[in-house]
Chain A
């Protein structure tokens, strides 16, 4: 990842969802994982727009699963995090950690 190219907040959250979901990461599960953990009611479009952006950067890759009856005969688009994505996630996590070190107690509410 080039220096200074930190992830946006939604990119960061979506990549973390991919890490959590592993092989079961597709639009619906990613959206629900984020909603359940953060309370953010994202649209499925926001999830896909973010994933498309991450894919164009080479941070994630996608593949089509088999169509299922539970999905009205539509295939899943499964996503997985790539090495560049893992490095970008590490760099972003690291930057946030460094920026929060030494902050006074209660800084969130100040």
Chain B
């Protein structure tokens, strides 16, 4: 029985996203099943089946893992990352306000760049401590910005608030992705 090669990206996703306890066994199971005569029809069909399995399995196992084991830890890491992100952002804005006139539009643009940069950094740091913490951080950012939008609608220009509402969570997730990519290219 020769193992039929599975799509490399699918294996990469399983190895990056699934808990350690399951990932090797699951990749091995997929390789073994794809090599069975009943399953190994044509290469595209095998790849399609494998992708179906991976797409259905990752969300389930991630949910199961976080629900049963360490969702509290993941939330703790995300909250800590949010605190650090806020401190970095506040320091950056304080420095900018000393250097530029606070009412200048340019100062707000720079403040947004500093804020989004710190959120990306927060996502990166959170993912380096615990996979899954970056999406949790993104959720926290989204909730906080929404609350600020509702409770203090006129404290900042609309474009500024919308930027953080949309790009803030995206920056945190992007930071997490950067961490995953760095891990993938790190020698074993």
Contacts and interface: CB of A to CB of B under 8 A. Distances in A.
Interface of A: 26-28, 31-32, 43-46, 48-49, 52-53, 56, 64, 67-72, 74-77
- Majority SS at the chain B contact face: helix
Contacts of B53: 43-45
Interface stretch (B27-35, B78-86, B132-140): B27-35
B57 interface: yes
A52 B57 CA distance: 13
A53 B65 CA distance: 9
A74 B27 contact: yes
A59 to B, nearest CB: 14
A49 B22 CA distance: 9
Interface of B: 1, 3, 21-22, 24-33, 35, 52-53, 56-61, 63-65, 68
Nearest to A43: B56
A24 to B, nearest CB: 12
Contacts of B1: 70
Contact of A53 (B30, B59, B64): B64
B22 A74 contact: no
Nearest to B52: A43
Contacts, number: 83
A48 B56 CA distance: 12
A72 B28 contact: yes
B19 to A, nearest CB: 9
Given A26-B29, A32-B33, 14 more contacts: A27-B29, A28-B29, A43-B52, A43-B53, A43-B57, A44-B57, A45-B26, A45-B53, A48-B57, A49-B61, A52-B21, A67-B28, A70-B1, A72-B27
Most buried by A among B28, B33, B57, B61: B28
Nearest to B5: A72
Contacts of A28: 29-30, 32-33
B28 A76 contact: yes
B160 to A, nearest CB: 41
B61 A72 contact: no
A70 B3 contact: yes
Most buried by A among B29, B33, B53, B63: B29
Given A46-B56, A77-B25, A31 B33 contact: yes
Shortest Cβ-Cβ A-B pairs, 9 listed: A45-B57, A74-B28, A71-B28, A43-B56, A77-B25, A49-B64, A28-B29, A27-B29, A45-B60
A71 to B, nearest CB: 4
